[in-house]
Amino acid sequence: MAPLDGIKVIDLTRVLAGPFCTMLLGDMGAEIVKIEEPEHGDESRGWAPFVDGWSSYFLGVNRGKKSVALDLKTPEGADALRALIARADVLVENFRPGSLSQLGFGPRDVERINPALIYCSISGYGQTGPRSQEPGYDVVIQGEAGFMDVTGSPDGPPTRAGVAVTDYLAGLYAMQGILLALLDRQRTGRGQHVDIALLDSLMSVMTLPLGILWATGRAPHRMGNDHPSVAPYETLQASDGSIVVAVGNPRLWIQFCEALGDERLAADARFQTNTDRLKNRPALKAAIESAFATLTVDEILARLRARQVPCGRVRTIEQAIADPQLRARQMVLDLEVPGLGTVKNIGNPIKLSRVPQRAARGAPRLGEHTTEVLQALESENVSVENLTR
């Protein structure tokens, strides 16, 4: 059995952070019932590019789910959701704080229906505080958190990350919060409200620049691919391309110099300690790239890897996804989508020794499982007559 077999999740989320969270729960065996607005569904279904009418964005974070189309503003839709909540273990939503309460599905409303339910809310700024009512999107939060201020070239403007790191972090924290709440429920028999904010999530990974600010009174500036606390820990130019190295301790510095066969570099007083190398970083980089200038990327990587120095090629996305390591780790999945055929998905990075990853189905059509799920409620004799409206 998968760890979450038997766990039923009501997914009232859309776009990325919430769908990513519920997809990961589904990978671990939970039944995910995705509730969608009947006409258009999750708005990411309409986001290009498309594969035979399917959004590649939607396909990427909704595998293995059941889609139920409900209009929660109608009595019938609201009753159906109450019935689903009555038999569920988890509800995940990413509406603006207070919106679901207006429909009768806020945390306190749902607690009266099912006191054991884990209710997880994902929002831009959280359920409390002076900014709780503001909408939050990944790019906005990257700016608000100071993340863009430390991302980009020293002589360039603040830059967002190339992927929606805020949404993915929030989705991961939501999953962790849900699992913690499920563990607590085993002891207490009671559910609780898990409150995840995009701003909190991104600020939680700003420990390094904040540590520098608090220690020195000065915020770090943008450094491109250089690390503010370690050198060499950056991209470097070879004769035919770029590589990235991570010389993170004194032992690796010695091995790095041995790999280059450059005794002068190892003996240079400017580079003896990491503090020295940080102080003299421009000279360090010039010396290393001078040694690299006559070598190809392949030659440098072979030398560094022979001495266990962490390093890699700066690859394109096409090169990265073609790495056989990813197939070996089940990180590239081929999934069947009804009416579309086989599509590729990125796999789940969580590997358990006794529970192999299961081959999940692909993303659902809008409303594909409405009849199936509602008929199952009837067969289980779930009544909405006594549920609090």
Active site residues: 167
AA identity, residue 278: L
φ and ψ of 196, to 5 deg: -115, 125
AA identity, residue 370: T
Going 14 to 17 to 19 to 21, the CA torsion angle's sign is: negative
Task: Give the CA dihedral 349, 354, 355, 357, nearest 10 degrees.
Answer: 40
Taking CA atoms, 266 is separated from 234, 255, 262, 269, 273, in Å, by 18, 10, 7, 8, 10
Task: Give the CA dihedral 62, 65, 66, 69, nearest 10 degrees.
Answer: -30
